[in-house]
């Protein structure tokens, strides 16, 4: 009942920037958190940034910025000074209430970010 769609991934050189977008739609009453996670090959999925909890992974502090457009149920991740260690599939996670009400948490399909020269 909730669709989460990410966009903005791609190939970028070290030191470059990318901006990811994530939009949630469906029978949503309210959203309390929208965040970004990433999973590199052979590694566990990890939290990158949460707009609701206002936290960042230590490895991205000072380089990544999360922002949210509440009116459009959209969250962005501005990524600057990218390094090869940022290469991963980036997933958007949305948590909130469906009309009813009942809680939900939904994931997007993921968008690939590759940092390479």
Return phi, psi of residue 59, to 5°: -70, -15
Q: Residue 11 pairs with which residues in a beta bridge?
A: 114
Token pair of 114 as six digits: 């590759």
- Residue 2: per-residue pLDDT: 96
In this prediction, residue 104 carries a pLDDT of 97
Taking residue 100's Cβ as centre, other Cβ atoms within 10 Å add up to: 10
Torsion angle defined by CA atoms of residues 41, 43, 44 and 45, in that order, rounded to the nearest 10 degrees: -40
pLDDT per residue over 16-33, tens digit each?
Answer: 999 999 999 999 999 999
Q: What pLDDT is stored for residue 30 in this prediction?
A: 95
Distant-in-sequence, close-in-space partners of 55: CB < 8 Å, separation ≥ 6: 47, 49
Give exposure, 8-32, as e/b (b: 16+ Cβ within 10 Å): bbeebeeeeebebbbbbeeebeebe
pLDDT digits (tens, 9 = 90+) for 34-79: 999 999 999 999 999 999 999 999 999 999 999 999 999 999 999 9
């Amino acid at each position: 009942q909730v669709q989460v769609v990410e966009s903005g991934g791609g190939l970028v050189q070290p030191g470059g920037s990318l901006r990811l977008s994530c939009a949630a739609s469906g029978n949503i009453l309210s959203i309390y958190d929208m965040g970004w996670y990433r999973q590199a090959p052979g590694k566990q999925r990890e939290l990158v940034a949460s707009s609701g909890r206002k936290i960042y992974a230590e490895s991205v502090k000072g380089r990544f910025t999360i922002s949210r457009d509440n009116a459009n149920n959209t969250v962005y991740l501005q990524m600057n000074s990218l390094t090869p260690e940022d290469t991963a599939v980036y997933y958007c996670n949305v948590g909130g209430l469906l009309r009813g009400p009942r809680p939900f948490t939904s994931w997007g399909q993921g968008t690939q970010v590759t940092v390479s020269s």
